[in-house]
Amino acid sequence: MNKIFLLIIIFATQLSYSQSMNTNSKKLRAIRNIRTLAFGSCNKHYKKQPLWQDLISQSPDLFIWGGDSIYADGKGIGEILAAYQVQNQVEEYKLFKSQTPIVGIWDDHDFGKNNGGGDYPDKKLSQQYALDFLEEPIHSLRRKQEGLYTSYEFGELGKKIKIILLDNRYFLDSKKKIILGKAQWDWLEKEIMNSKASLHFIVSGISVLTEATFHSEEWSDYPDEKKHLQKILKDSKRPYLYLTGDRHFASIFGKEGEMEFLSSGMTHNISPLLRPYLRGQYPNTVFEHNYGLIEISWAKSTPILSLSVRTEKAEGLNRKRIVWKSNQWSEL
C-alpha cells in the first residue's frame, strides 16, 4: 500500500475514532453492575456476520472481543488498518456498539501474523490500530505500555467483578516457551494479589485448558507458563473463570479443578473432519457460528453464573448454571 495513502487513511481514522472513543469510555464508566456479559472471537471481517442481531436482542451490559476480531495477518500493516475499517462499517456491528460498551484483546489474526509473537516487526503500530478499534482513549496508559493487557472492575464491594485481559501475542517466544513475558507476569500477580473483586474473568485469546492438538495453539504448548498461571489463580482462592477463543468451536468444560468457557467462530467453524474427535474430548461442543453469554447473579458475595452458547438461530445451547463452592465451580 502506498505510504502517502496509508498516512491519509491513518489521519482520517483518528478523526473518525475521536468521538467514538469518548462515547465508549462514557459507556464503560456508566456501568454500575454487570448482570449480562457477552464475548466472542474469530470474526472474518469480509464474511457474513450473522450474530450481531441476536447480540443486540440480548442487550448485554458489556461485550468482550476475545481475539481475532478481524483476519488480516500476513498481508502487511496497512491491511490491518483497512480490515478494521471494514469491520467498523458493518451495519449491525455499528448498531450494536452504539448501544453496548466494548473491551477486548487480540490474537494472531488481528495481531498481524499467523501464530505470531514478539518477533513481529510491526507489533507496536498494530497495537495502536487495535486500541483505535477498541476505542481506547488517546491518553490511556494502555497506549504507552508494551502489550494490550489490562483489567477492568465493575460493581460494588462484595459483588465486584474484575475482567483481566491477557496479551498472549506481544511477548510470545515459541523457542523460549514464553507467553506473557516478565512485565505482564509481574502485573498479573499484582492484579490478583491486590484484587478486592468477588469474581474474576480471565480472558485469553488462546485456550488455557484444552490439550495440545495438531494445527492449533493453546497454553498446553507452554507447560511452565500454564502451571504458573494456574498456581497464581488457585493460590488466590478467589472465584475465576477462563474466557477463551481461537479454536473455531464452543464448549464449556472443566479440567484440573478449573473451568473454561471457550467461544469461537463468529463467522466460521472448524473442519467437519475434526468434529468427531472434538466431541469425544469436549462434550456438548457447538460447531455453529456462536458467541458466549453469561448471566450473573449473587447469593450474598457468592457468584452464580448461567452460561450458554448463543447461535445465529437465536438459541442458547450447552447451558450450565454454576456456583463457586469450596474453591471451585460446581453445577447447580
* pLDDT tens digits, one per residue of 199-210: 999 999 999 999
Task: For 214-260, write each residue's pLDDT tens digit.
Answer: 778 999 999 999 999 999 999 999 999 999 999 999 999 999 889 99
CA quadruple 6, 11, 16, 20: dihedral sign: positive
The β-bridge relationship of strands 316-325 and 328-331 is: antiparallel
Distance CA 216, CA 133 (A): 26
Distance CA 215, CA 237 (A): 34
| Confidence (pLDDT) at 9 | 54
Distance CA 46, CA 53 (A): 17
Phi, psi (deg, nearest 5) at residue 105: -135, 170
Cell of 53: 442481531
Q: Could you tell me the strand order of the sheet in which 150-154 lies? A: 150-154, 161-165, 199-204, 240-244, 258-262, 251-255
Distance CA 243, CA 64 (A): 10
How many Cβ atoms are within 10 Å of 27's Cβ, its own excluded? 18
Cell of 187: 502485573
Phi, psi (deg, nearest 5) at residue 146: -90, 120
Domains of the chain: 3-331 (3.60.21.70)
Contact 197, 163 (CB under 8 A): no
Stretches where the chain sits below pLDDT 50 are none
Distance CA 10, CA 157 (A): 41
Distance CA 110, CA 251 (A): 23
**286 secondary structure, DSSP code:** B
Question: Between 77-88 and 91-99, two packed helices, what is the crossing angle to 10 degrees?
Answer: 80
| Confidence (pLDDT) at 329 | 96
CA-closest candidate to residue 103, choices 148, 36, 159:
148
- pTM here is 0.93
The amino acid at 125 = L
Tell me the residue length of the chain. Answer: 332
Cα-trace Rg, the chain: 19
| Confidence (pLDDT) at 256 | 82
